[in-house]
């Protein structure tokens, strides 16, 4: 009996589970105040929407700039040097169309210096009518003493007498070439004015102005 009892005790001791040798350690939760918080990303800034007031302001600035540019251009045009040669009237001598005078006028506000006028030759004849398809270059010029003016002020003028350059002429296609220098510009400028004679039914010849690069009238 004693041996059986000891055997049972040994079996019962084998079947009894052993206690866990490790002790339970609870995990520590981090303190919320000590956990670093991620900075919040700010929302993207919204662009200001264009307003009706801003549109009209930009439009006003644009119109103002255009008006300013036009005003400056108009001022420059007004103050630019202007030389005018007035066409003559009916010749004093019907047999000589150059028995007339040409007035050179400073029609601008700016005084002109070193003003000189000469006669450019196109067609000049006593008997042969003018060739209407010919466009002269007026490169050949005649200048006389006394046609050079040192200074020509506003609305001042001087005169060229046609008979001082030619004798008895009946048909003429000439040009008055004026060289001048505005007082504020260091170089000279040249202006050419073309005139031709146009005979009428009554036998008189009249002077007419005409563009440089155009053919003459078909009725001359």
Q: Which long-range contacts (CB under 8 A, 24 or more apart) does 137-142 make?
A: 138/174, 138/175, 138/177, 138/192, 138/194, 138/212, 141/177, 142/118
pLDDT tens for the 220 residues of the chain, in order:
555 555 555 555 555 555 545 555 566 666 655 555 555 566 666 666 656 666 677 777 778 888 888 777 666 655 677 899 988 877 778 778 888 999 999 998 889 999 999 999 999 988 888 998 999 999 999 988 778 899 999 899 999 988 888 888 888 999 999 999 988 778 889 999 999 988 777 777 888 899 999 998 765 5
Q: Which of 114, 126, 138 is nearest to 205 (CA)?
A: 126
As a whole number of angstroms, the distance between CA 187 and CA 184 comes to: 9
Ramachandran angles phi, psi of 154, nearest 5°: -65, 130
Amino acid 32: pLDDT: 58
Amino acid 9: pLDDT: 55
Amino acid 37: pLDDT: 57
Q: Which of 142, 136, 138, 162 is nearest to 216 (CA)?
A: 136
Q: Which of 173, 170, 189, 192 is nearest to 181 (CA)?
A: 189
- The domains found in the chain, sorted by start residue, are 83-210 (2.60.40)
């Amino acid at each position: 009996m004693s041996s059986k009892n000891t055997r049972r005790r040994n079996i019962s001791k084998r079947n009894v589970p052993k206690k866990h040798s490790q002790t339970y350690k609870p995990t520590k939760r981090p303190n919320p105040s000590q956990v670093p918080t991620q900075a919040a990303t700010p929302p993207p800034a919204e662009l200001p929407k264009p307003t009706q007031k801003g549109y009209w302001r930009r439009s006003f600035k644009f119109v103002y700039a255009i008006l300013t540019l036009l005003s400056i251009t108009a001022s420059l045009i007004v103050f630019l040097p202007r030389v005018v040669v007035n066409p003559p009237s009916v010749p004093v001598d019907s047999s000589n169309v150059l028995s007339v005078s040409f007035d050179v006028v400073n029609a601008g506000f700016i005084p002109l210096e070193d003003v000189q006028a000469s006669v450019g030759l196109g067609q000049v004849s006593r008997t042969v009518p003018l060739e209407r398809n010919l466009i002269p270059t007026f490169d050949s010029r005649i200048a006389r003493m006394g046609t050079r003016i040192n200074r020509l002020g506003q609305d001042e003028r001087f005169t060229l007498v046609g008979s001082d350059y030619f004798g008895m002429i009946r048909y003429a296609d000439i040009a008055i070439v004026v060289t001048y220098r505005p007082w504020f510009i260091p170089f000279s400028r040249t202006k050419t004015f073309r005139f031709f004679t146009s005979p009428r039914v009554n036998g008189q010849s009249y002077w007419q102005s005409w563009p440089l690069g155009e053919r003459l009238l078909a009725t001359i």
